[in-house]
């Protein structure tokens, strides 16, 4: 079978699909207060059939995992319909969703029935008022209900993503480890990246992964067991807590780059294939699709696009001059 291999011999097996750049939350590191692209016309966005056609082409080219993201995917109407369309492709092994979980209590069951495998939920604080401040209006109780609904619907393991910010929520690292154990979820601590609405200014809040790990270690002691990093783990270092099912990950996209094992590319809601989160290289797939391109020619276009994938991002060296990039367009 055809495969996608980039010039640095990395096999591309993971596609992140942003289904919208809009969101009902306004996390300071991600979204400007007024929201993203309010002027965006409906027709600029790929419809579900177009997304399904592009995903099918990727799956034929060896992509095994697709994650729906955004913006907030659940603000787009009828997401379970898209999941059902994608699930028809037998080559896809994993179909996952990243969400802020605000609407998850309503959608967890229909999504699971449509064929979704797993969810990642953003959760930066377990304190209701702080959560509302970080998300500029979010409702912690709804998010916790959403997490439980996902577990009941069988979308396990639910993975929690916490962006650790110095002086904002770094005092909750231990509480989040405890939450993982009592709630039966996985937690991944993420370094703040100089990407998104606040751009470089978020780096004032940067809290390095090594320090996060040291805090987790001090909290659980010798019960923290490192797990073997697999090629598809990307920039995550994973651990398990002995005597429990709990897994903890630490994602150090900035302080240590793991670009040599990068296996992913991103499709924006407007149909642009972005080849690296920290670089500009991209290829428009929407216009050729709307111009009537055949399935074979679409696959050829994707194979050619992958040849432009950069070797690595430059967050840590160029952190002071990195171009502003919209996380909501690229889907994290
Ligand atoms: N709305 C969904 C959510 O929040 O999970 C999906 C999209 S969101 C852009 C995907 C992930 O990117 C979230 O876990 C979020 O915390 C993370 N993210 C956004 N901006 C970030 C930044 N500047 N640094 C680190 N992580 C960021
Ligand atoms: Fe919305 Fe997710 Fe960005 Fe927060 S991180 S503003 S929930 S898209």
Domain ranges across the chain: 14-330
| HSE-CB of 227 using CA atoms within 13 angstroms | 17
Predicted local distance difference test score (pLDDT) of residue 280: 73
Which neighbouring-strand residues pair with 65? 14, 94
Q: What mean pLDDT comes out for the span 216-240?
A: 83
**How many angstroms does the Cα of residue 74 sit away from the middle of ligand 1?**
14
71 lines ligand 2 (CB under 6 A): yes
Q: What mean pLDDT comes out for the span 72-88?
A: 97
72 lines ligand 2 (CB under 6 A): yes
Predicted local distance difference test score (pLDDT) of residue 180: 96
163 lines ligand 1 (CB under 6 A): yes
Predicted local distance difference test score (pLDDT) of residue 295: 96
Closest residue by Cα to atom 26, ligand 1, is 192
Predicted local distance difference test score (pLDDT) of residue 323: 38
Q: How confident is the model at residue 260 (pLDDT cuts 50, 70, 90)?
A: confident
Predicted local distance difference test score (pLDDT) of residue 331: 61
15 vs 309: which has the higher pLDDT: 15
Q: How confident is the model at residue 204 (pLDDT cuts 50, 70, 90)?
A: confident
Nearest ligand to the CA of 196 is: 1
Structure tokens at 277: 């989160």
**Nearest residue to 172 via CA among 120, 137, 127, 119:** 127
3-state SS string for the chain: CCCCECCCCCECCEEEEECCCCCCCCCCCCCCCCCCCCCCCHHHCCCHHHHHHHHHHHHHCCCCEEEEECCCHHHCCCHHHHHHHHHCCCCCCEEEEEECCCCHHHHHHHHHHHCCCEEEEECCCCCHHHHHHHHCCCCHHHHHHHHHHHHHCCCCCCEEEEEEECCCCHHHHHHHHHHHHHHCCEEEEEECCCCCCCHHHHHHHECCHHHHHHHHHHHHHHHEEECCCCHHHCCEEEEEECCCCCEEEEECCCCCCCHHHCCEEEECCCCEEECCCCCCCEEECHHHHHCCCCHHHHHHHHHHHHCCCCCCCCCCCCCCCCCCCCHHHHCC
Preceding peptide of 157 cis, ω within 30°: yes
Closest residue by Cα to atom 13, ligand 1, is 122
Predicted local distance difference test score (pLDDT) of residue 8: 83
21 lines ligand 1 (CB under 6 A): no
**Nearest residue to 330 via CA among 7, 21, 14:** 21
Predicted local distance difference test score (pLDDT) of residue 328: 59
Q: Is 83 a residue whose pLDDT tops 70?
A: yes
30 lines ligand 2 (CB under 6 A): yes
23 lines ligand 2 (CB under 6 A): yes
Q: What mean pLDDT comes out for the span 94-116?
A: 98
Predicted local distance difference test score (pLDDT) of residue 262: 79
Predicted local distance difference test score (pLDDT) of residue 193: 79
Q: How confident is the model at residue 256 (pLDDT cuts 50, 70, 90)?
A: low
Predicted local distance difference test score (pLDDT) of residue 322: 37
Contact of 205 with 245, CB cutoff 8 Å: no
Lowest-confidence segment of 80-94, 104-118, 237-251, 274-288 by average pLDDT: 274-288
Pairing of strands 65-69, 118-122: unpaired
275 lines ligand 1 (CB under 6 A): no
Predicted local distance difference test score (pLDDT) of residue 318: 46
Q: How confident is the model at residue 126 (pLDDT cuts 50, 70, 90)?
A: very high
Class level of CATH domain 14-330: alpha beta
Predicted local distance difference test score (pLDDT) of residue 199: 58
Percent of the chain with pLDDT strictly greater than 90: 65
Which residue shows structure tokens 């969101």?
23
Closest residue by Cα to atom 11, ligand 1, is 332
**Nearest residue to 69 via CA among 268, 275, 254, 278:** 268
Q: Please give the C-alpha separations between residue 96 and each of 77, 145, 167, 186, in angstroms, as whole numbers.
A: 17, 19, 32, 15
Contact of 79 with 73, CB cutoff 8 Å: yes
- Across the chain, what does the average pLDDT equal? 88
Q: Is 253 a residue whose pLDDT tops 70?
A: no
**How many angstroms does the Cα of residue 27 sit away from the middle of ligand 2?**
5
* The residue count for the chain: 332
Predicted local distance difference test score (pLDDT) of residue 320: 40
Closest ligand 1 atom to residue 162 Cα is 16
Closest residue by Cα to atom 4, ligand 2, is 27
Predicted local distance difference test score (pLDDT) of residue 182: 95
Q: How confident is the model at residue 255 (pLDDT cuts 50, 70, 90)?
A: low
Predicted local distance difference test score (pLDDT) of residue 314: 62
Predicted local distance difference test score (pLDDT) of residue 319: 41
Lowest-confidence segment of 57-61, 103-107, 139-143, 225-229 by average pLDDT: 225-229
Q: What mean pLDDT comes out for the span 88-107?
A: 96
Which of 73, 162, 163, 202 is the best mutation target for the ligand 1 pocket, counting ligand atoms within 8 Å of the beta carbon and taking the most?
163
Distance between CA atoms of 16 and 246, rounded to whole angstroms? 26
**How many angstroms does the Cα of residue 295 sit away from the middle of ligand 2?**
33
Predicted local distance difference test score (pLDDT) of residue 315: 55
Number of other CB atoms surrounding residue 97 within 10 Å: 27
* Strands of the sheet with 282-284, listed across from one edge: 224-226, 236-241, 247-251, 186-191, 159-164, 118-122, 94-99, 65-69, 14-18, 264-267, 272-274, 282-284
Q: How confident is the model at residue 244 (pLDDT cuts 50, 70, 90)?
A: confident
68 lines ligand 1 (CB under 6 A): no
Contact of 189 with 238, CB cutoff 8 Å: no
Q: Is 130 a residue whose pLDDT tops 70?
A: yes
């Amino acid at each position: 079978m055809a495969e996608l291999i980039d010039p640095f011999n990395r096999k591309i097996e993971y596609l992140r699909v942003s289904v919208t750049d809009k969101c009902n939350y306004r996390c300071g590191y991600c979204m400007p207060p007024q929201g993203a692209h309010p002027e965006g016309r409906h027709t600029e966005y790929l419809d579900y059939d177009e997304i399904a056609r592009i995903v099918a082409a990727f799956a034929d080219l060896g992509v095994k995992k697709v994650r729906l993201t955004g913006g907030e995917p659940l603000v787009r109407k009828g997401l379970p319909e898209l999941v059902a369309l994608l699930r028809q492709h037998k080559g896809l092994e994993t179909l996952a969703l990243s969400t802020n979980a605000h609407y998850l209590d309503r959608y967890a069951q229909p999504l699971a029935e449509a064929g979704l495998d797993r969810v990642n939920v953003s959760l930066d604080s377990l304190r209701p008022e702080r959560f509302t401040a970080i998300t500029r209006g979010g409702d912690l109780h709804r998010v916790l209900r959403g997490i439980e609904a996902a577990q009941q619907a069988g979308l396990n393991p639910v993975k929690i993503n916490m962006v650790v910010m110095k002086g904002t929520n770094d005092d909750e690292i231990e509480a989040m480890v405890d939450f993982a154990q009592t709630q039966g979820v996985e937690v991944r601590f993420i370094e703040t990246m100089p990407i998104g609405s606040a751009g470089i200014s978020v780096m004032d809040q940067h809290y390095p992964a090594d320090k996060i790990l040291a805090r987790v270690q001090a909290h659980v002691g010798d019960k923290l067991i490192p797990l073997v990093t697999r090629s598809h783990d990307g920039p995550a270092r994973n651990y398990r807590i002995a005597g429990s099912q709990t897994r903890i990950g630490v994602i150090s996209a900035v302080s240590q780059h793991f670009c040599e094992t990068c296996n992913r590319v991103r499709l924006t809601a407007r149909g642009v294939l972005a080849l690296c989160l920290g670089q500009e290289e991209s290829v428009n797939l929407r216009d050729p699709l709307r111009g009537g391109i055949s399935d074979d020619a679409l696959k050829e276009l994707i194979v050619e696009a992958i040849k432009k994938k950069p070797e690595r991002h430059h967050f840590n060296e160029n952190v002071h001059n990195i171009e502003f990039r919209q996380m909501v367009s690229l889907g994290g």
